[in-house]
Structure 1
Amino acid sequence: MIVFNYETDFELVNEEKYTQWISKTITAENCEEGDINYIFCDDKYLHKLNVEFLNHDTLTDIISFDYTMGKLISGDVFISVERVKENAKDLKQAFDDELSRVIIHGILHYCGYKDKSNNEAKIMRAKEDFYLKILE
């Protein structure tokens, strides 16, 4: 079950469209949908989590806590709406496009994709691009 939560003044437009898209992505990756919580927040909220749980004293756009067991995808995905807006501006992307990329990025991690090396990051970006086309 996919649930969207809001800890800031933001609300995802057309939650059902995103829910179906995320579910299709999970199925296409030969995984099963478990409990997935998206929490949209601001920089301050996410920075606190980053320091407390990851010992990183930096701003970030997404932190995901992965509770996946085998092929059953579950987790909490925290997204800083402020950071996504800033990144979209810096990358000259539409906010909705950058937000969608971040949303699916967390799911792809749960499906087993990594992005630490250049090669892994390239594969992750290709997967993101593929699933973003499906959303359109």
Structure 2
Amino acid sequence: MTSAVDVTVSREAGDWAEDADWLAERAALAALGATYDDADGPAELSVVLADDALVHRLNREYRGKDKPTNVLSFALTEAEEPDPEEGVPVMLGDVILAYETVAREASEQGKAFADHMTHLVMHGVLHLLGYDHESDDEAEEMEALETRLLATLGIADPYAANHQPPDQ
């Protein structure tokens, strides 16, 4: 795991379990450990545990989609930005999860809530780091990475039975 990135988890809304903070941090650090180069310097990101109402509002305001979704990622850096000042953390962005949608999807897909949540946090963090699934090739690359990272945590391939990327 990477030590150069500080992950902050906050609870804004939703009926999240006690271990949700730990699960979110573990998932974010697992994704970062495989994709973020410590040589790039310190960085920060946040994971926000929210509910459908908050995510619905954000999805409508920032993406023009008038519905809740499972996870939103708001990257705060772009590849074209100049290198940050040495020692000053780069703000990678925010990953925001909607409790009711995550719980419903886990139930519908027959997955443990913790496993589905872990997958969605990883998915969101990978978006912050530039991964996407707009093309088939990008989707294959991102899904393969997610599957490999989840396996290191003992979580089954989330795409094995339901080949759909998380809503973004």
**Superposition TM-score, scaled by structure 1 size:** 0.85
Corresponding position of 1:19: 25
Where in structure 1 are there 5+ consecutive unaligned residues? Answer: none
Cα RMSD after superposing both structures: 2.3
**Equivalent runs, 1:20-35 vs 2, <5 Å:** 20-32=26-38, 34-35=43-44
1:42-86 per-residue CA deviation (whole Å, 9 max, x = no partner) reads: 111100011111111122001111013559561111100111111
Q: Retained in 1: the 8 A contact 2:43–2:91? A: yes
Change (3 A) 1:123 1:15: same
Change (3 A) 1:40 1:19: closer
Secondary structure of 1:23's partner?
Answer: helix
Identity of aligned residues (%): 27
Work out which of the two has the higher radius of gyration on C-alpha atoms and give 1 or 2: 2
Secondary structure of 2:8's partner?
Answer: strand
The 2-side partners of 1:76 and 1:17 are apart by 16
Corresponding position of 1:96: 114
1:2-41 per-residue CA deviation (whole Å, 9 max, x = no partner) reads: 0111112324517456535533432321434511111111
The 1-side partners of 2:141 and 2:91 are apart by 20
Structure holding more helix per residue: 1
Structure holding more strand per residue: 1
Q: Retained in 1: the 8 A contact 2:27–2:122? A: no
**Number of residues paired by the alignment?**
136
Corresponding position of 1:52: 61
Where in structure 2 are there 5+ consecutive unaligned residues? Answer: 1-5, 84-89, 155-168
